[in-house]
Structure 1
């Protein structure tokens, strides 16, 4: 009898231990990775910039679009519903699509675009990445208004390899056209000339005070003295590399394109289109009795058109009872940064040379030590003869049009989409037999 009771007690102890262990393991697994659901409604929205009101394509009526936040290891299910007349697809810029290439988003390459009234669910898992990326439309020039941040936090319980910031702020650079961007790119493709430049750059969708009729549309980053902020910089401009600086402040680069780097300090950031850079901003220890411009303008050295203007936002310190000022905020001195020259290749080269992988035991640089084959690619901009005799060309010389090239060979558009050719069981029908050499 006593032995039976002891056996029963032992059984319940074992059961209770197993149950608690199972719950703990389940809880740890749940914390490690979860499935996050988002819904993107592609719709038109009236918006006014530069005293010009027009209807633009947006996600959920927002410009820029909504922020996606996930952790490393999470699964994302994002349903995109198309309510506009344009076909649409969404690309998750920088995400490593491991065995989920159909979720990458380039229209006619990994998927057919989402037609009006239809929807598509993007399903992918974030593997081995943490930091700042972004998403955008990947068909024609719809990405000029359809874009937003994609923020990947470390796994729960895993700290940043740098000081924990007081606050994190996404800063997205973009471009604004008073005209319809679709009409702009269509005209460029038809004439062979460079596309008409944008009317303004934007920071979080706002042009700022250096453009006409835009003082009220100025991004203000409000900070507290003596704090560290993580600025998640994203260059969503269509084609332009940008210099970025905050007057009288130093920035510490800690990550680019969702990869930690060896930290280094700089007064100016150079960020390419499509690129992301995380920087730490350490504010001044005391209220400075001043405000500070944060400005951006293009870096350009080659042919082609670009918007040679300067974008500005304002870094503004919040006042407290300890740091008060007798002057209204608008009357405080406004300091302006000094950006490199438009074609300062020396700065660009030095900045790029500072980008090095973190390469620590926790975040190693797993690259092959042996090179099996060396490849050399030259990316350039040249010209091709116009394709139609009656066409009025607007390239750099009469009878020509601009053409991008790799190793002096320009891509020729196929007559049949890759996916369509495979669907029709005729993959060779996709491949052009001859590619043109540019002049």
Structure 2
């Protein structure tokens, strides 16, 4: 397979040279790839552009000038190659959320954990296979809060085409990305949260990058005094009787969302790129990091119907932070506006939404998920068991003692088993993965994530939610680089227990490089004697992002069979920035095909003096970026 490349008028020389490198890769790859597989090529240019929303111009970091960024579409078994050209002022990595990265931890995209970041003005090509997976995944920056503007869909279709879906073939497939619009510097937002200040709220929510008519734009010139234009909203044109596969993605930083389309029902068919037993519902609950695929039949009367994404938050006494919602439109093509008898347009239909503090609907939505096709049988028993509390604590700004409960002397942090994650230093000589692979120390002190919390108390006591003397004794914690090592092939059970210290929200826990069997969930405190007999070992849902209910728990099981260094974290950005993270290290197996291969030859270096001019790979391409 040969391809011809030329420089387009809008293409930088750096892009063009990077494309030449990819050309060599594609030619060689085509000689070894299976006949049914292909190489899917993308170039992501990360740069800052000015965008105007809410009558304000904001400098936004995006890929290829788009928000959301480009969708990657592949077929199961394909290889994806994405050349990331970093023209932004920030260090950059891209994470391919939900891609299992079998024997390819090097492409997972977590700064200083799996790789040194791509420095401003430099490039790196991510190469990974999408084998043994099909469905809706996504990609996003894994740097500070920049995933709010750097994200997009990653869709893997069946090798035999849409006819092999375990549900009726849809007329059209539609990515629906729910996100945030922020009119502030996102790195400053991250610094605020690392400093324990997380009261910032997004200016608006979006559907496919559009804010919708709940938000006012600029005053409309010539439309009369006081006239204000509405923000554009996402519009899905449908044909009566046709079936649409909506690929829902929550790319937001802060909130779970309830999603409804007025006058229509959904059939849920997949979650996190795993098919589920279909079930009907009029509302989808989706947390940050999750994907949910639903079928929607356009079977309503011709007209216009709002698609609403309502942000959720836990009720008081949990701290109440302003959250934003948005809406788009489902519009029937046969007649986009239905006239009424008096000649006026019939207004669009608005759905009845759950209450924003409703936590039961999301609990039962996720409880309805069961597997339709399991990638493997559920292991019958675990080799290792962990009980991990998810909470909030505080550390002193100076010294070992300080005032707590919101005092400026302390910083609020998020924890796993009472320890907050300390990021590896940006000045380290190599990432944790490189140090692990080469059996080096590299001066980063690691602490083992304990099997159980350091403190035992009534984890769901609502009296601990407000700041004050009751919870103050439970606040003190510490920051460490938390890791947990697993032998290759170990079956691991983890019970995640949400806690009530200073907050009562849910926790969408995301494990890189593996899927998890979700065995059970519940409200209140986990009780092994009561809850283990309830485990679903027959058809549990298989997820990469598991929603742990607020003031509740979730039990998962996974097989540690993918060697490497893998992030486990809450996908609420404020929890991640504040330290609700651990690193799971999976050791090599006993054979070549169960051991991590060496890093790519063009792997980014941490040395800030690294030459921009040299890129050399196994095909002998050299000095192409000079």
| TM-score normalised to structure 2 length | 0.60
Match of 1:352 in 2: 366
CA distance in 1 between counterparts of 2:165 and 2:283 reads 23
Task: String of CA shifts for 1:92-114, please: whole Å, max 9, x gaps.
Answer: 00000111111011111111111
Q: CA deviation at 1:141?
A: 1.2
From the superposition, tell whether residues 364 and 87 of structure 1 become closer, same or farther in structure 2 (CA, over 3 Å): closer
Equivalent residue number for residue 170 of structure 1: 175
Instruction: Tell me if 1:182 matches 2:197.
Output: no
Moved more, 267-276 or 396-405: 396-405
Counterparts of residues 333-348 of structure 1 (less than 5 Å):
333-348=347-362
Unmatched segments (≥5 aa) in structure 1: 1-25
Match of 2:85 in 1: 81
Q: Quote the residue 1:12 is aligned against.
A: none
**How big is the alpha-carbon RMSD for the aligned residues of Structure 1 and Structure 2?**
2.9
Of the candidates 68, 74, 79, which is equivalent to residue 64 of structure 1?
68
3-state SS in 2 of match to 1:419: coil
**C-alpha distance in 2, partners of 1:215/1:393?**
47
Q: Which residue does 2:385 correspond to in 1? A: 374
Other-structure match for 1:298: 311
Give SS of 1:151's match: strand
* Alpha-carbon distance in structure 2 between the residues aligned to 1:159 and 1:379: 40
Task: Tell me if structure 2 keeps the 8 A contact 1:293–1:313.
Answer: yes
The match for 1:205 is 209
Of 270, 288, 291 in structure 2, the residue corresponding to residue 273 of structure 1 is 288
Q: How big is each residue's C-alpha offset from its partner over 1:155-213, in whole Å with a ceiling of 9 and x where there is no partner?
A: 135610000000011000111111112122213323x2215110000110111111222
How far residue 52 of structure 1 moved from its aligned partner, in angstroms, is: 1.1
In the alignment, the residues of structure 1 paired with residue 428 and residue 343 of structure 2 have an alpha-carbon distance, to the nearest angstrom, of 56
5+ residue gaps, structure 2, are 1-30, 218-228, 450-475, 479-500, 502-626
What SS does the aligned partner of 1:374 have? strand
User: Within the alignment, does 1:419 sit opposite 2:434 as a pair?
Assistant: no
Kindly report which structure 2 residues correspond to 1:145-294, keeping only aligned pairs within 5 A, or say none: 145-157=149-161, 159-190=164-195, 192-213=196-217, 215-284=230-299, 288-294=301-307
- 2:117 counterpart (113, 117, 120): 113
- The answer as to whether partners of 1:357 and 1:365 remain within 8 angstroms in 2 is no
Q: Partners in 2 of 1:120 and 1:419 — Cα distance?
A: 16
2:565 alignment counterpart: none
Give the Å deviation of 1:433.
5.6
Return the offset for 1:338. Answer: 1.6
Q: In structure 2, what is the Cα distance between the partners aligned to 1:77 and 1:67?
A: 13
**TM-score normalised to the size of structure 1?**
0.84
Task: Give deviations 1:386-419, integer Å, cap 9, x for gaps.
Answer: 3237xx9997345332211112222234446483
In structure 2, the residue corresponding to 1:78 is in which secondary structure? strand
CA spacing shift, 1:425–1:101, aligned 2, 3 Å? closer
Aligned residue number for residue 407 of structure 1: 417
Q: 1:331 to 1:176 in 2, by over 3 A?
A: same
Question: How far apart, CA to CA, are the structure 2 residues paired with 1:109 and 1:330?
Answer: 60
Q: Is it true that 1:41 corresponds to 2:56 in the alignment?
A: no
Distance 2:146 2:375 in 1: 37
Alignment of 1:100 with 2:140, yes or no, is no
- 1:92-150 alpha-carbon deviations (Å, 9 max, x no partner): 00000111111011111111111111100101111211000100111111111111000
The answer as to whether partners of 2:211 and 2:231 remain within 8 angstroms in 1 is no
Compare CA radii of gyration and give the structure with the larger one.
1
Structure 1 window deviating more from structure 2 (337-346 vs 95-104): it is 337-346
1:142 matched to 2:146? The reply is: yes
Counterpart contact for 2:302–2:334, Cα < 8 Å:
no
